[in-house]
Structure 1
Amino acid sequence: MKNYLSNWNFRRIIYLIGGIFFVLVAINDRTWWMIPFGLYFISMAVFRFGCASGNCEIPLQKKDSELQN
């Protein structure tokens, strides 16, 4: 459990909070079709897949001319 909680970053926390918000709003407003969207964001944060794992970032690469100078 200690290792699981140590790998959290800001993006995963935002996904978790956003997913919980979607689920709570859907339950409160009785818009049941929104619950899967909230559960998707919660699962991204909890199971660390998709952008919550940091795989959506584009690595910054310098051009060859900048590296030679």
Structure 2
Amino acid sequence: MKTLLKYWNAVRIIRLVAGMGIIIMAFIENQLLLGVIGLLLVVQAVMNFGCGPGGCNIPDNRRYRRRT
């Protein structure tokens, strides 16, 4: 629980604000899918996970190839 309140940076704040804005827009427009997207952004901001540096990259297998 303590980690949810620590290490807030600009990206987490932007995700939180964008997610809240999208959720508000979803209620106004009565759009379920838009609300799900906003909820996803809010959860990412609160739990501090998502695609960050090195988080969603494809492993480079070139260094494991055999040299012939």
| Normalised-by-shorter TM-score class | 0.5 to 0.7
Cα offsets for 1:9-39 (capped at 9, x unmatched): 0000000000001100000111122111000
Q: What is the percent sequence identity of the aligned residues?
A: 32
Moved over 2 A (4+): 1-6, 53-56
RMSD (Å) for aligned C-alpha atoms: 2.2
**Quick one: which amino acid aligns to residue 17 of structure 1?**
V
User: Structure 2, unaligned stretches of length 5 or more?
Assistant: 58-68
- CA distance in structure 2 between the partners assigned to 1:2 and 1:17 by the alignment: 21
The count of aligned residue pairs is 56
Which of the two has greater helix per residue?
1
Q: 1:28 to 1:7 in 2, by over 3 A?
A: same
- CA distance in structure 1 between the partners assigned to 2:33 and 2:46 by the alignment: 21
User: Structure 1, unaligned stretches of length 5 or more?
Assistant: 59-69
**Quick one: which amino acid aligns to residue 27 of structure 2?**
I
2:34 equivalent to 1:45: no
